């Protein structure tokens, strides 16, 4: 049955290798089980329900990817998008988390339609690679600021807006230790470095009396507080258009980049650069995002950590199925997730920020019409506390810089239309 479903021999792999690859991928991305409830819980959402939604969304998304596309790519609620959901849409713009879930649902519907009608390539090709790299880097800086705040390393300052926090506090010291631990473990190529750091910092925190231990295993909490609680009608408000498009664009860019990177590493990409079943993979991804919003979590997306499983030999969708099964098994560890303090997950956020900021290396800094929009995009996200605003500033600055430099021929209709829309949005809403 497994041979028929996943074509193991054709991909030069076997069941044992695929299982090992699935376990490897799960260990590298399991940190989301602790991080996602911590972030979304700040909106007022029930953390236990968010934990269950995270497990189910990851299991559903990974299973769909494995069965439909037969790719060794796992999915879970995305980092950056969960922070945008909480700190910008809910806490910044004042919308309810139900409305934010509605926006996630609508963006997933658009993503699904783009995948069905194969418009996604046109959109992706219309956005310059440098601008896409800047968006990823900006999200990374946004996560870094949130991480430093959660750890108490950065604090509000009435004179300078932000300033240095209390580095002598247990939270700050444990967070710093956790980040250094991740760096060391990653440098030694130890699988699950982020997860190990979270568990070590949580354990030390409990032993030192800084936080309380809520238990290890139990029956899964109720999903009822978040299940089908999305407010689609509220998300149709004109002021949320930019939010929906921000969810859409980030998910689209993130998924395309992850799919290409992991597939290339797995040897699944053809010599001409074409990725077979790309459409199926994106349909699986958008379906997972739809399911996640109904369950009660922010946008579900493909994880670059899947590359760890590919390095361990994963070549087919069986790897993703194994990840799905492990996320279902994780449902019984809700008490442990509830014991993890925010400063224990802060190092994970900061580490993800480091990875996302690496895209800035691809920028052609000698070209000021490229460098300026990139810097504006990346800085606007953390400084305005909004991914959507950063994207808007990036589109506007790119079009303005190219036009004023007399290089308007480098622009395309899609990019100009997006810039005009962003100007209208910022001026009126």
- State how far the Cα of 381 lies from the Cα of 386, in Å rounded to an integer: 5
Q: Which two tokens stand for residue 372?
A: 């300026």
- The pLDDT of residue 5 is 82
Residue 325 shares a structural domain with residue 404: no
- The pLDDT of residue 273 is 58
Residue 133 shares a structural domain with residue 263: yes
Q: Could you tell me if residue 125 is inside a domain?
A: yes
Residue 15 shares a structural domain with residue 118: yes
Q: Could you tell me if residue 52 is inside a domain?
A: yes
Of 287, 309, 330, the last residue of a domain is: 330
Instruction: Examine the pLDDT at 281 and tell me if it is beyond 70.
Output: yes
In terms of Cα–Cα distance, which of 20, 93, 137, 102 is closest to 376? 137
SS3 349: helix
Instruction: Examine the pLDDT at 221 and tell me if it is beyond 90.
Output: yes
**Domain count of the fold of the chain:** 2
Residue 137 contacts residue 356 (beta carbons within 8 Å)? yes
Residue 26 shares a structural domain with residue 134: yes
- State how far the Cα of 313 lies from the Cα of 413, in Å rounded to an integer: 43
R_g (Cα) of the chain, nearest Å: 21
- The pLDDT of residue 214 is 87
Q: Could you tell me if residue 385 is inside a domain?
A: yes
**How many Cα atoms are found within 13 Å in the side-chain-facing hemisphere of 400?**
15
φ, ψ of residue 313 to 5 degrees: the values are 110, 0
Q: Which two tokens stand for residue 311?
A: 């390095």
Residue 313 shares a structural domain with residue 373: no
pLDDT digit string (tens) for 361-389?
Answer: 878 899 999 999 999 999 998 998 888 88
Give the pTM. 0.87
Residue 251 shares a structural domain with residue 373: no
Quickly state the pLDDT bin for 123 (edges 50, 70, 90). confident
SS3 162: strand
End-to-end CA distance of the chain: 55
Residue 52 contacts residue 221 (beta carbons within 8 Å)? yes
Instruction: Examine the pLDDT at 424 and tell me if it is beyond 90.
Output: no
**Which helix H or strand E contains 405, and what residues bound it?**
none
Residue 373 gets the label, from left (phi > 0), alpha (psi -120 to 50) or beta, of alpha
- State how far the Cα of 93 lies from the Cα of 192, in Å rounded to an integer: 35
The range of the structural domain enclosing residue 311 comes to: 1-138+238-330
Residue 34 shares a structural domain with residue 103: yes
pLDDT digit string (tens) for 257-279?
Answer: 788 778 777 777 766 556 677 77
- State how far the Cα of 380 lies from the Cα of 396, in Å rounded to an integer: 12
Question: Please, what is the angle between helix 278-295 and helix 97-116, to 10°?
Answer: 160
In terms of Cα–Cα distance, which of 170, 174, 169, 179 is closest to 201? 174
Q: Could you tell me if residue 250 is inside a domain?
A: yes
Alpha carbon of residue 211 to chain centroid: 27
The DSSP bridge pattern shows strands 154-157 and 75-77 to be unpaired
Residue 50 shares a structural domain with residue 133: yes
Residue 96 shares a structural domain with residue 243: yes
φ, ψ of residue 77 to 5 degrees: the values are -55, 130
Beta bridge pairs of residue 154: 164
- State how far the Cα of 69 lies from the Cα of 67, in Å rounded to an integer: 6
- State how far the Cα of 302 lies from the Cα of 414, in Å rounded to an integer: 26
**How many Cα atoms are found within 13 Å in the side-chain-facing hemisphere of 1?**
1
φ, ψ of residue 52 to 5 degrees: the values are -65, -45
pLDDT digit string (tens) for 7-35?
Answer: 888 888 899 999 999 999 999 999 999 99
Q: Which two tokens stand for residue 77?
A: 């609620």
- The pLDDT of residue 274 is 65
- The pLDDT of residue 29 is 92
Q: Which two tokens stand for residue 96?
A: 């309810």
Quickly state the pLDDT bin for 238 (edges 50, 70, 90). confident
In terms of Cα–Cα distance, which of 100, 29, 4 is closest to 262? 29
Residue 390 shares a structural domain with residue 326: no
Residue 70 shares a structural domain with residue 2: yes
pLDDT digit string (tens) for 73-108?
Answer: 999 998 888 999 999 899 988 999 999 999 999 999
Average pLDDT over residues 168-183: 95
In terms of Cα–Cα distance, which of 90, 381, 113 is closest to 234? 90
């Amino acid at each position: 049955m497994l041979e028929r479903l996943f074509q193991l021999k054709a991909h030069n792999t076997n069941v044992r290798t695929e299982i090992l690859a699935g376990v490897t991928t799960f260990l590298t991305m399991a940190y989301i089980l602790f991080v996602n409830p911590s972030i979304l819980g700040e909106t007022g959402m029930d953390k236990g329900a968010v934990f269950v939604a995270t497990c189910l969304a990851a299991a559903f998304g990974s299973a769909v990817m494995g069965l439909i596309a037969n790719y060794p790519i796992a999915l879970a609620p995305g980092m950056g998008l969960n922070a945008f959901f909480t700190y910008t849409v809910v806490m910044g713009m004042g919308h309810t988390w139900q409305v934010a879930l509605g926006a996630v649902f609508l963006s997933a519907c658009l993503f699904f339609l783009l995948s069905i009608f194969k418009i996604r390539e046109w959109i992706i090709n219309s956005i310059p690679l440098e601008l896409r790299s800047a968006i990823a880097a900006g999200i990374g800086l946004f996560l870094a600021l949130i991480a430093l705040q959660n750890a108490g390393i950065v604090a509000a300052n009435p004179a300078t807006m932000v300033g240095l926090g209390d580095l002598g506090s247990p939270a700050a010291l444990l967070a710093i230790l956790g980040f250094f631990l991740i760096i060391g473990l990653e440098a030694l190529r130890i699988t699950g470095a982020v997860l190990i750091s979270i568990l070590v910092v949580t354990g030390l925190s409990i032993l030192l009396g800084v936080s309380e231990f809520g238990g290890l295993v139990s029956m899964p909490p109720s999903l009822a507080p978040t299940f089908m609680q999305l407010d689609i009608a509220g998300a149709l408000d004109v002021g949320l258009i930019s939010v929906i498009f921000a969810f859409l664009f980030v998910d689209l860019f993130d998924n395309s980049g992850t799919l290409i990177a992991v597939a290339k590493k797995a040897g699944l990409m053809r010599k001409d650069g074409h990725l077979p079943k790309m459409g199926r993979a994106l349909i699986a991804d958008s379906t997972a995002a739809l399911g996640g919003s109904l369950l009660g979590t922010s946008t579900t997306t493909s994880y670059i950590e899947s590359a760890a499983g590919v390095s361990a030999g994963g070549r087919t969708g069986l790897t993703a199925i194994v990840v799905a099964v492990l996320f279902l098994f994780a449902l019984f560890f809700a008490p442990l997730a509830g014991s993890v303090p925010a400063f224990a997950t802060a190092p994970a956020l900061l580490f993800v920020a480091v990875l996302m900021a690496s895209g800035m290396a691809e920028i052609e800094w000698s070209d000021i019409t490229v460098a300026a929009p990139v810097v504006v995009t990346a800085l606007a996200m953390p400084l305005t506390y909004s991914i959507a605003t950063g994207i808007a500033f990036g589109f506007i600055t790119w079009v303005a810089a190219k036009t004023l430099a007399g290089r308007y021929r480098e622009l395309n209709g899609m990019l100009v239309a997006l810039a005009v829309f962003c100007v209208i949005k910022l001026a009126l809403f």
